Amino acid sequence: MAKPFLLGVLGGMGPLATLDFQRRLLDATPAQSDQQQIPTVVWNVPQIADRQKALAGTGPSPLPQLLHGIEKLNKAGASHIAIPCNTAHHWYDALSDASEAPILHIVDATLDALAQSAERPQRVGVIATKGTLEAGWYQTRLAQQDIEVVVPTEEELAQWFVPGCYAVKRGALTEGGELLSLQANALFARGAQKLVLACTEVPVALEAVNAPFRHLTYDPAHALAERCSQLWQLTR
């Protein structure tokens, strides 16, 4: 007998991004009452080791803490698990192997949504951590759709993306939004027609500064929330 639908959220990376994802779950679900919203259990523990530092070789691996969170969500009865952090998907295979509940992949949700969009751009910029960019998840899937990819330079990552991301983590949303807007505009200047905001801190920051180009972006957290909502609605 299948488990009742209960979405597990492996969060804390960062905690604000997790709260933003929970809001997106509400927005994605056509509920007419409390009882029609997605039932969730959330592991929002921000003490998980820094993913960017781990992949750069300057910090410990977060895998033991990620596995602990997956264990807790499974024990809580999760039927599916979502991870609203792109960089954490570096450890997706190990987490999936350890989880009884299937783990939804944020890249799959994003690129499936893009493939179904009415107007598909020819060139897409990707704003992401160095670890996500080096993994090549988005570049590979975009190339499969015959879409050219524009990515940040090393200098841009150092000057704009990394300090912008960490500004969000310390609550300086306006500062983060201004820095990440510079990164976005640099990708537009190099020919990107739309952007994938492949770090869950980025949409929060751009919203804080009311960035005028937000209608030209794809938000993986939004796509993941939509996928979760679709699964929930199939069970009702």
The residues assigned a catalytic role are 85, 199
Q: What does the buried/exposed string (b/e) look like for 112-146 if buried means 16 or more CB atoms within 10 Å of the residue's CB?
A: ebbeeeeeebebbbbbbbbbbbebebbbebbeeee
Query: What is the rounded CA–CA span in Å between residue 63 and residue 78?
Result: 20
Radius of gyration of the chain (CA): 17
Q: Which residues pair with 121 in a beta bridge?
A: none
CB atoms within 10 A of CB 33: 6
Q: In the chain, what's the furthest Cα-to-Cα distance?
A: 54
